[in-house]
Amino acid sequence: MQCDSWPAGMGFVCLLVASLMVRGHLALTVGECGSQARRPEYTDITVVCRTSSIELAIQVCPVIYTGYNESLLILNYITDQSGCRGTLDKSVTPPVVRFTFPLRQADACGSIFLTTSNPGTGVFADFSNIQTVNISGVVRSYDPTVGMVTYNAELKYLYSCSYPLEYFINNTQVGVSSSSIAVKDNNGSFISTLRMQLFSDQNYTTPLIIPPLGIELRTDIFVQVIAANLTSQYHVLLDRCYASILPQPSNSTFFNLFVSCSVDQMTTMLENGDSQKARFSFPAFRFTEQQNQTISTYYLHCITRLCEISTCSQFKVCNNPSGRRRRDAEITNIQEGLSGPTLITSVPIRTQSDTPLTSKEEALSGGPRDGKAARRWVLASRWAF
């Protein structure tokens, strides 16, 4: 029965009719439930927080034992949308009623979206404002009893999913010039919707392909971080992007392309926090630590925030004490504590050594005067912004 077509305010009447039909046709009976027919418990609901949807599974035999059936379980008082109604699944043991709805706020079946902010920890310890969105709601029973009293207990099944809005993206897929976070659904994470791509042109139409012998120094590398299948209420904001010598950045020498409002003079920010993609570019460089190697190899990483459109602007204000704080720029090793965020790793960025310019700082200075003096200058100033 399609309750969607019933007049406004008649949704519960439709549900009552539907429940009577279900009782006579599809619903399980107490006898069929056997030993699974019991009083409801807090553990009767299972919540799966996926990257694009939330899935609820409620054991149906306790519901039947209490005097209801699956058609009388209502998600957030929504009765006139077929996509918000539960479906009986008798193929599993114990049988369950399933609800599945998208994370888009406009069609999340009445779920409540609440964004909170807290100081960062671990890899995000340098940021004082890390946001998390919590999506919650309730499945309630609808009592069809007509009269002044009822002997049916009211059932309430609460659900909640928390999604961090800050992610650590580690991308070095250059041969293919596009890489995505693993498709695996991390419980309560939008991470699989984020993708980093590298291009060779400012229009972001030609993927960057790096040959086995590397690309020439000063070759412009255009980087794009884009969110796919993400609700329109969020934009992509890059908090920090940097290059490291090792693919896993823990305990690796790194170079900051930008940290919050501190941008390296060779990095160009093109778009950040204004849409569901962020873009910047930088010229290919070499790490002086790899000066004796034919090819300089390094890896690109980005810490990415998904910010609500209404709050993105506050994270882009450099002197806002409640936003992001500047990380000290210096030669150091990245500390431990990176195991929490999800990483993606692929083919490294390689630059050639067949040029007298051995670092991006020497390119700024017009080239080395002599090898030893130039190296000293680089080590003294490479981290100054």
pLDDT tens profile 327-349: 333 333 333 222 223 333 334 68
Distance CA 362, CA 181 (A): 35
Q: Are residues 233 and 257 in the same domain?
A: yes
Q: Are residues 357 and 216 in the same domain?
A: yes
In the predicted model, is pLDDT for residue 14 greater than 50?
A: yes
Give the global pTM.
0.62
Q: Does 42 lie in the same domain as 175?
A: no
Please give the Cα distance from 355 to 348 (Å, whole number).
20
What CATH number is given to the structural domain containing 103?
2.60.40
277 lies in the same domain as 305 = yes
Q: Which amino acid is at 147?
A: G
% of the chain exceeding 90 in pLDDT: 26
Q: Are residues 75 and 174 in the same domain?
A: no
The pairing of beta strand 234-244 with beta strand 254-259: antiparallel
* DSSP one-letter code for 326: P
- Helix, strand, or coil (residue 364): helix
User: Residues 283, 190: one domain?
Assistant: yes
Residues 32 and 66 in one domain: yes
Q: What is the pLDDT of residues 239-276, one digit of tens each?
A: 888 888 887 777 778 889 988 778 889 999 999 989 98
Which tens digit of pLDDT belongs to each residue from 284-333?
988 888 877 888 888 888 888 888 888 888 777 665 444 444 333 333 33
Q: Are 210 and 347 found together in one domain?
A: yes
**Does residue 227 sit within a domain?**
yes
CB contact at 8 A, 199 and 208:
yes
| Separation of alpha carbons 376 and 342, rounded Å | 37
The verdict on residue 319 lying in a domain is yes
Cβ pair 329, 259 in contact under 8 A: yes
- Structural domain containing residue 83: 3-111+137-161
Surface-to-core class of residue 81, CB atoms within 10 Å of its CB (0-12 exposed, 13-18 middle, 19+ buried): middle
Task: Specify if 131 maps to a domain.
Answer: no
Do residues 97 and 142 share a domain? yes
Same domain, 148 and 224: no
Task: Please tell me the total count of domains within the chain.
Answer: 2
Q: State the pLDDT at residue 189.
A: 65
Which residues make Cβ contacts (< 8 Å) with residue 241, sequence separation at least 6? 223, 256, 257, 258, 280, 300, 301, 302, 303
CA pair distance 299, 248, nearest whole angstrom: 9
The whole-angstrom separation of Cα 203 and Cα 205 is 6
**In this structure, are strands 178-180 and 156-164 parallel, antiparallel, or unpaired?**
unpaired
Query: How far, rounded to the nearest angstrom, does the alpha carbon of residue 49 sit from its chain's CA centroid?
Result: 12
% of residues, the chain, pLDDT over 70: 65
Q: Which of 11-25, 51-65, 350-364 has the highest mean pLDDT?
A: 51-65
- Asked if the peptide bond before residue 94 counts as cis, ω within 30 degrees of 0, the response is yes
Residue 240 lies in a domain: yes
Q: What share of the chain is helix, strand, coil (3-state, %, to 5)?
A: 20, 35, 50
* 145 and 237 both lie in a single domain: no
